[in-house]
Amino acid sequence: MKKAKALPLEGIRIVEIATAWVGPGSVGILSSMGAEVIKIENPAHPDFWRRCQPFAERVPGINRSGAFALLNRGKKDCELDLKSPEGAAQAKEIVKISDMVITNFAPRVMGNFGLGYADLCRVKPDIIMVSASGYGIDGPDRDRVAFGPVLEAYSGISCLIGHPGSPQLCGTSITDHIGAINVVFAALAALHHRRLTGEGQFIDLAETESALTCMGDAVMEYTMTGRIPEPCGNHDEAMFPHNCYRCRGDDKWLAIAIANDDEWRSLCRVMGKPELATDERFADGFRRWQNQKALDKLITAWASQQDDIKIVHQLQKAGVTASPIYSAADQYQDAHLKARRYFVEHEHPEVGKRVLPGVIVRLSETPGKIEGYDPLLGEHNEWVQNVLLGNKGIG
């Protein structure tokens, strides 16, 4: 039997002192690549997600949150009150035998615990520490309270979403997702640097600045022309048609994005209206953009008679970029996601079987895996005390 290869980050231990998404989410990715994770939670104020819906069988409980499960599978969990000298001392003992600390609290918080970077370097000189705060470790707004939707607004993303005169939030904390990916990149770069030099370092990541990378063309437009881009609904300034169209059935929709004249002619053929391709109003991208209301009306009338799944197959076969607009139920039943084994099943000691997303990035030789379920609050206190720290106790 062929021996399984070690995962890329096996042998790396990460201490997670974090809550909500960007910290736990980034560490969850690193965990799936083999890192051992010690998640430290305050028993009086555990991870924010533990108290958030959805709950298994809609029954609230500290160990029943699906949101918490999504980000924290495979981690070990211990309870420490970091505000107490004993708890902070125990945390330092864990850091002393670890490689990295990842936190997403406001900069002042870790310093107040006596667990700032300088404090940790005294017990582990080559420690890598990632601070993924809302606004960064310096500047006048460093101590602002931060949650994903507010950071989305601050970063400017919200000013580009929605319809003219009505900016909107994405509906999901997109800044946390962007921030988590950047934390993973920075953490891996720092680990590589330490392997080459033996040096640890401190990583300052501001979620607002991380999200600003999604604003590149809008920022460039303002700096180069003085124009401030505004929300344009589902439309696009470079492509048309570019919209969501209601299909036949209950709340079924189709998204279409046409990038060039060839795709436009293909759409016309699938619609059974080849004459539209030679209509002067729609002859090229600029004229289609000028007459987008009339064109949207024509496509809406056609789409309303179509089955969303069947017509997408026809459009894709013809070279037209299109997709049904999926609900969560649609995603769960999608044949392509099933074929790629996107959803995986885990057995949880309190709520039984759970179906959750698996490893997203799959390396050919070491594809990663998620070991086990999301930990119960304080589940590994005894393991940390007796095995990891050699019976030094948990404060």
For residue 107, which of 85, 83, 131, 88 has the smallest C-alpha distance?
A: 131
Whether residue 264 is predicted with pLDDT greater than 70 in this model: the reply is yes
54 in any annotated domain: yes
Check residue 237 and give its pLDDT. 84
Q: Are residues 316 and 370 located together in one domain of the fold?
A: no
Whether residue 394 is predicted with pLDDT greater than 60 in this model: the reply is no
- The answer to whether the beta carbons of residues 278 and 287 sit under 8 Å apart is no
Identify whether 274 is preceded by a cis peptide bond (ω within 30 of 0): no
Q: Are residues 259 and 202 located together in one domain of the fold?
A: no
- The answer to whether the beta carbons of residues 394 and 381 sit under 8 Å apart is yes
Per residue in 78-133, pLDDT (tens digit) is: 999 999 999 999 999 999 999 999 999 999 999 999 999 999 999 999 999 999 99
Between 45 and 371, the higher pLDDT residue: 45
156 in any annotated domain: yes
Q: Are residues 175 and 247 located together in one domain of the fold?
A: no
> What is the domain-level CATH number for residue 128?
3.40.50.10540
Check residue 392 and give its pLDDT. 58
Q: Are residues 118 and 29 located together in one domain of the fold?
A: yes
Q: Which domain holds residue 355?
A: 13-214+341-388
Check residue 395 and give its pLDDT. 45
Catalytic residue among 176, 217, 279, 307: 176
Buried b (16+ CB within 10 A) or exposed e, 159-194: bbbbeeeebbbeeebbbbbbbbebbbebbeebbeeb
Q: Name every residue whose Cβ is closer than 8 Å to that of residue 387 and which is 6 or more positions away in sequence.
A: none
Domain boundary among 276, 295, 326: 326
Q: Are residues 368 and 318 located together in one domain of the fold?
A: no
Residue 239, token pair as written in the block: 């492509």
Q: Are residues 46 and 156 located together in one domain of the fold?
A: yes
- The answer to whether the beta carbons of residues 49 and 75 sit under 8 Å apart is no
- pLDDT, average across residues 276-282: 95
Q: Are residues 307 and 346 located together in one domain of the fold?
A: no
- pLDDT, average across residues 220-248: 92
- Catalytic annotation on 296? no
Q: For all residues of the chain together, what is the average pLDDT? A: 94
Q: Name every residue whose Cβ is closer than 8 Å to that of residue 117 and which is 6 or more positions away in sequence.
A: 110, 127, 129, 131, 202
Q: H/E element holding 207?
A: helix 207-212
- The answer to whether the beta carbons of residues 236 and 244 sit under 8 Å apart is no
What's the DSSP call for residue 31? H
What's the DSSP call for residue 386? I
Concatenating the DSSP letter of every residue in 84-150 gives: SHHHHHHHHHHHHT-SEEEE-S-HHHHHHTT-SHHHHHHH-TT-EEEEEESS-SSSTTTT----HHH
Q: Are residues 249 and 286 located together in one domain of the fold?
A: yes
231 in any annotated domain: no
Q: Are residues 118 and 246 located together in one domain of the fold?
A: no
Check residue 313 and give its pLDDT. 97
Position 393 confidence tier, pLDDT thresholds 50, 70, 90:
low
Check residue 355 and give its pLDDT. 92
Per residue in 21-74, pLDDT (tens digit) is: 999 999 999 999 999 999 999 999 999 999 999 999 999 999 999 999 999 999
Count structural domains, the chain: 2
Per residue in 306-338, pLDDT (tens digit) is: 999 999 999 999 999 999 999 999 999 999 999
Q: Name every residue whose Cβ is closer than 8 Å to that of residue 109 and which is 6 or more positions away in sequence.
A: 103
Q: Are residues 30 and 72 located together in one domain of the fold?
A: yes
223 in any annotated domain: no
Per residue in 135-160, pLDDT (tens digit) is: 999 999 999 988 888 999 999 999 99
Q: Are residues 366 and 312 located together in one domain of the fold?
A: no
Check residue 3 and give its pLDDT. 67
221 in any annotated domain: no
